[in-house]
Amino acid sequence: MKHIALAALLACTLAPAPALPARVEPPAGAYARLIRTHAPALVTLKFVLEAPAEFGAGEQEMEASGVMVEKDGLVLAANSQFGGMIAMMGGPTPAIKNIRVLIGDDTKGVEATLTARDRELDLAWIRIATPDEAGYAHLDLEASADAGVGDRIHMVSRMGKFFDRAPLVTEAAVGGVTAKPRRLLVPNGFLLQFGMPVFGESGRLVGITVIQSPSEEDQDDSSSGMMGETDSLRGLILPASEVLAATARAKETAAAPTPTPTPTPPPAP
């Protein structure tokens, strides 16, 4: 039942976003500059998801969006778009295989592996198996800025395959800031693409769009109700400083050697 309710809430989020307040128009070429600077780092991820029985069972070919965050082929994506949504709806985390990263106009993709997940932050990291020696256009996570209530923000993303993955700038404003479960910027509209970079008016990175889903205990709290679920699905912004720190942890985890299993001692005579 939980996944049915969550699907209904997702449909609710497709309602028109509230109108933005009157403002001064951005400088001519500001959107084009964002696209020119940051769209080359956006990639498409193709993969096969092994769905559990309660979610259709079998293998499903999937697509998700991601952003290159290091020159040598490290891609950041939203964990919810990489099978994590099933876990959010109460199911097991599905296995992911046959990952390919499509860069630019490439339609074939290059092989990659899922190296780490952070389920609480809704982040996943994917690394290209054999990166191009010339490197890749990437988003600099350290070139960031903070944002507060009332500040204008711009998400850079790509449309779907039907629209030839055209780059797109979506504008909103910071309508609020949460303290729990962590600091998150809340847009005053719906940013419905997750794992995408959001920039401030200075053009510097503000954060990455994510889903923050309540725990099982919080979901069972009737006082939170449907509104709490809707809030969690609106596309919140995890600050760039948190993304940078999480990426450093993910790299350490991926680089750590796999522990050698301790052999089982023989039974006593």
Confirm whether 30-39+140-252 and 40-137 share one CATH topology: yes
Q: What is the pLDDT of residues 97-108, one digit of tens each?
A: 999 999 998 989
Per-domain residue ranges of the chain: 30-39+140-252, 40-137
pLDDT at res. 48:
94
CA pair distance 61, 83, nearest whole angstrom: 12
pLDDT at res. 190:
78
Domain spanning 30-39+140-252: which CATH class is it, in words?
A: mainly beta
Both structure tokens of 145: 């800025």
Q: Is pLDDT of 266 > 70?
A: no
Do residues 235 and 209 lie in contact, with contact meaning Cβ atoms separated by under 8 Å?
A: yes
What string of DSSP letters covers the chain? -HHHHHHHHHHHTTSPPPPPPP-PPPPTTHHHHHHHHHGGGEEEEEEEEEE-GGGT-EEEEEEEEEEEEETTTEEEE-GGGTTHHHHHTTSPPPEEEEEEEEETT-SS-EEEEEEEEETTTTEEEEEESS--TT------TTSB----TT-EEEEEEE--GGGTT-EEEEEEEEEEEE-SSS-EEEESS-----S-EEEETTSSEEEEEE--PPPHHHHT-TTTHHHHHHHHTS-EEEEHHHHHHHHHHHHHHHHSPPPPPPPPPPPP-
Q: Is pLDDT of 231 > 90?
A: no
Mean pLDDT of 137-163: 96
Both structure tokens of 230: 């809707």
Q: How confident is the model at residue 83 (pLDDT cuts 50, 70, 90)?
A: confident
Q: How confident is the model at residue 95 (pLDDT cuts 50, 70, 90)?
A: confident
Mean pLDDT of 64-80: 97
pLDDT above 70 covers a percentage of the chain that reads: 73
* The total number of residues written for the chain in this structure: 269
Note if the bond before 16 is cis, omega within 30 degrees. no
Mean pLDDT of 28-56: 88
Per mean pLDDT, which of 53-67, 150-164, 215-229 is the most reliable? 150-164
pLDDT at res. 139:
98
pLDDT at res. 54:
63
Burial category of 166 from C-beta neighbours within 10 Å (exposed 0-12, middle 13-18, buried 19 and up): exposed
Residue partners of 12: CB distance under 8 A and separation at least 6: 230
Angstrom CA distances, 115 to 4, 18, 126, 169, stand at 30, 38, 6, 29
| Average pLDDT over the chain, rounded to an integer | 83
Q: Is pLDDT of 8 > 50?
A: no
Q: Is pLDDT of 5 > 70?
A: no
pLDDT at res. 192:
81
Phi-psi region of 235 (alpha: psi -120 to 50; beta: other; left: phi over 0): left
Mean pLDDT of 137-151: 97
Burial category of 62 from C-beta neighbours within 10 Å (exposed 0-12, middle 13-18, buried 19 and up): middle
pLDDT at res. 261:
55
pTM higher than 0.95, yes or no? no
The correct CATH number of 40-137 out of 3.20.20.150, 3.30.1330.10, 2.40.10.10, 3.40.50.300 is 2.40.10.10
pLDDT at res. 219:
56
Q: How many CA atoms lie within 13 A of 126 on its CB side?
A: 30
